[in-house]
Amino acid sequence: MTREIVLDTETTGLSPVSGDRIVEIGCVELINHIPTGRHFHIYLNPERDVPDEAFRVHGLSTEFLRDKPLFRAEVDAFLEFIGDGTLVIHNAPFDMGFLNYELEKLGRPSLTNEVIDTVMVARERHPGARVSLDALCKHYGIDNSKRVLHGALLDSEILADVYLELIGGRQVALALVAETHVEAGISVTIAPARQRPMPLPSRLSDIEFAAHLKLVGTLGADALWSNYPTELVAAE
């Protein structure tokens, strides 16, 4: 089973070293590249004012965030949700830099999860093209009409759709291998269908089967049908 966490943050600015803080975290869970419906979402009090430049990006004001919990109060719930899952992030150094800085302030170890940076994946898939989230949505025909402002959970949900397209489209979830489906918190593994120990009896009549053999005889020795039995198995 492959567990991935599509993650996004919103912040007060561009640099935690300069005093900027996280104000929102949004995460979406994927199992075998399929969204499970489980998510983690929290607004955080940054313990500082939100600059106008940041407010214009995400719309989260100082007043709105004033009564929200501090990161230290939510860190355990956040770490429990992501677990050891692979983190899927658009421009990963930015978000990972902020998250690890917040953890460091609390004396916690940095995240050691495997990280997939969808910016790098997009640049590899589409050299020279714009790789912003909006540009990728336009390229893949993904609806982002609700994205008037940046929002960590909404952006994570949109990024999940973009990520699936980047790795080959939603068909990756339809491969003919054992799959794990998660419904209502219950994990159910569905194994591939096994081959029958005995073939089913033919439903062809003697006349139909004779006509079939006559046709196969005209196809040559290399015909695919030559690999199959030439005796009719009678139905019981």
Please tell me the distance from the alpha carbon of residue 132 to that of residue 118, in angstroms, as a whole number. 10
Q: 23 CB contacts (<8 Å, ≥6 apart)?
A: 10, 11, 12, 43, 44, 46, 50, 54, 58, 60, 65
Residue 212 appears among annotated catalytic residues: no
As a whole number of angstroms, the longest Cα–Cα distance in the chain is 87
By CB atoms closer than 10 A (0-12, 13-18, 19+), residue 145 is exposed
CB atoms within 10 A of CB 98: 23
33, 90, 150, 212: the active-site residue: 150
CB atoms within 10 A of CB 82: 20
Catalytic annotation, residues? 150
